[in-house]
Amino acid sequence: MRKITALEKWSYAIGNIPYAVKDTAFGTFVVFYYTQVMGLSGTLAGLAMLIALSWDAISDPIVGSWSDAVRSRWGRRHPLILAGGVPTALCFLFLFNPPAGLTEFQIFLWLLVVSLVLRTLLTIYYIPFQAMGAEMSMDYDERTVIAKARITVAWLAGMALPTIAYSLIFRSDGSADGRLIAENYVLYGVMSTVLAAATALFCVWGTRSTIPHLPQADKQSLNLSLKKPLSDFFIAVANVNFRRTIGTKLAFGVCAGTYTALGLYLGTYFWEFSTQQMAGLVLPTLFGALTAFTILSGLGKRWGKPKLITFFCMAFGVNSIWFIGGRLLGLLPDNGHAILYPLMILTTYIQVFLIVSLQVMGASLLADILDEQELQTGFRQEGVFFAASAFVYKATTGFGNFAAGVTIDLAGLQPGAEPGTVPASVLDSLGWFMGLGVGSCCLIAWYCARRVRLGRAKAEAIRQQLAASA
């Protein structure tokens, strides 16, 4: 069994940075920028995200099925990764720089169209990228290592971007809050474009040596009709463990996306943290991701992937509720008290550890289910499986942004509001939605995860059967 090299592993991991750039943009800044700076209503901003996500539900399985069938001297994954990477990066220039003088509805259309184009190009890049990760190794534990490297690099990039943004780009000068200045977002778009394009190209270059060792498409020609993707999708969802795992990832993705999308609103208005304090959360984010990177392999060997995923889902729900719940129930002091920021650091550390752990174990488990699928059906469906997984990751920001947009409208948060001027009733509404919404989604994720039946012993037995029949 071939072991991947360090260059291949880390080049592949770095290829996840363009997706991290998208996640940071849409998960943290897009809704805030379009509502608080551009004056778009939260409902319209959320609706644009939901429409784009609905399009992903159509485009993702199509690209996944086509990716499985591509035949070229560069294999079936690299051509699409190359075709989607740089164009995706260029879209960030347009996302944060709409033309001046637009009406509210025109701003909505601009956000919608740019989001649709960006997410379509990202689909072309990211689905074959994810599928390639499952093909790089057949080893049970090495798959976790690959997923761990990919997700950890994305988290490191995902925390570096807002840290740089808060510290340098959105820095307040004393007269105005930098988070409310439109020109700052143009600079953020440029930074996002450069980073996404450079890392996508590096991924293609660094993983080119894996092409001869990756599974190739069969000799059937590429079928560009919609019938085959639909047929492939129904074959995939016939797998019980696949359905339950995707259900877990979708429910968790929604709660994580909501948590992230409302995070900037809560940090700015609910807790009234400064941009320097928001930037300082890079440290617990860093240590949370590194803790997951360090101990997950050992945890996976001892307890197995499904059991860990079940525990992490419940722990995420509890950690999402206690801090905000303490404020809403009057158990925590008023804003400005010295204890609040350390508590935010603690909950951020735990939350990042749990999110990274769930993402790593979910990706690794999906690779094991691919083996089960091959044994049951006789062919592999990396593209289709990871199209579903990619859609779930996109749902993290799509549903999260939609929920956040509707919430800020229902709560009555006004565009351009300065921290410290928002009525307590508005802030309480934001807090209750965060706690109850995220907690409910975590219960659904926990229920789905505990019904997955594919532990280490069964996964290894499946691989032995596949090896014997090869």
pLDDT band at 198 (very low <50, low <70, confident <90, very high): very high
Is residue 224 over pLDDT 60? Answer: no
The count of domains in the chain is 1
Would you state the pLDDT for residue 227?
67
Q: For all residues of the chain together, what is the average pLDDT?
A: 86
Work out the number of other CB atoms within 10 angstroms of the CB of residue 332: 17
pLDDT band at 228 (very low <50, low <70, confident <90, very high): low
Whether residue 360 is contained in a domain is answered as yes
Alpha-carbon distances, residue 344 vs 263, 268, 271, 284 (angstroms): 11, 13, 9, 9
The DSSP symbol for 222 reads P
pLDDT band at 397 (very low <50, low <70, confident <90, very high): low
Residues 445-467: tens digit of each pLDDT: 999 999 988 888 888 888 888 88
Separation CA 405–CA 385 (nearest Å): 30
Whether residue 5 is contained in a domain is answered as no
Is residue 315 within 8 A of residue 354, CB to CB? The reply is: yes
Burial class of residue 188 (count of CB atoms within 10 Å of its CB; 0-12, 13-18, 19+): buried
Is residue 187 over pLDDT 70? Answer: yes
- CA-nearest of 359, 400, 362 to 154 is 359
Is residue 386 over pLDDT 80? Answer: no
Identify the CATH number of the domain in which residue 281 sits.
1.20.1250.20
Mean pLDDT of 95-117: 95
Whether residue 427 is contained in a domain is answered as yes
**Following CA atoms 233, 239, 240, 246 in sequence, which dihedral angle do they give, to the nearest 10 degrees?**
-40
Separation CA 191–CA 17 (nearest Å): 13
Whether residue 4 is contained in a domain is answered as no
Is residue 287 over pLDDT 60? Answer: yes
Separation CA 165–CA 276 (nearest Å): 10
Whether residue 234 is contained in a domain is answered as yes
Whether residue 37 is contained in a domain is answered as yes
Separation CA 273–CA 281 (nearest Å): 11
Q: Is 214 helix (H, G, I), strand (E, B) or coil?
A: coil
Separation CA 425–CA 270 (nearest Å): 11
Domain that holds residue 28: 12-210+230-469
Whether residue 7 is contained in a domain is answered as no
For 74, phi then psi, to 5°, come to -95, 15
pLDDT band at 400 (very low <50, low <70, confident <90, very high): confident
pLDDT band at 438 (very low <50, low <70, confident <90, very high): confident
Would you state the pLDDT for residue 244?
92
Structure tokens belonging to residue 81? 């990764």
pLDDT band at 289 (very low <50, low <70, confident <90, very high): confident
Separation CA 182–CA 33 (nearest Å): 8
Whether residue 420 is contained in a domain is answered as yes
Residues 44-68: tens digit of each pLDDT: 998 998 888 888 877 877 887 777 7
Return the residue matching tokens 């379009």: 34
Would you state the pLDDT for residue 214?
73
Residues 117-164: tens digit of each pLDDT: 999 999 999 988 988 887 887 776 777 788 888 888 987 898 889 889
Query: Looking at per-residue confidence, does 375 or 340 come out higher?
Result: 340
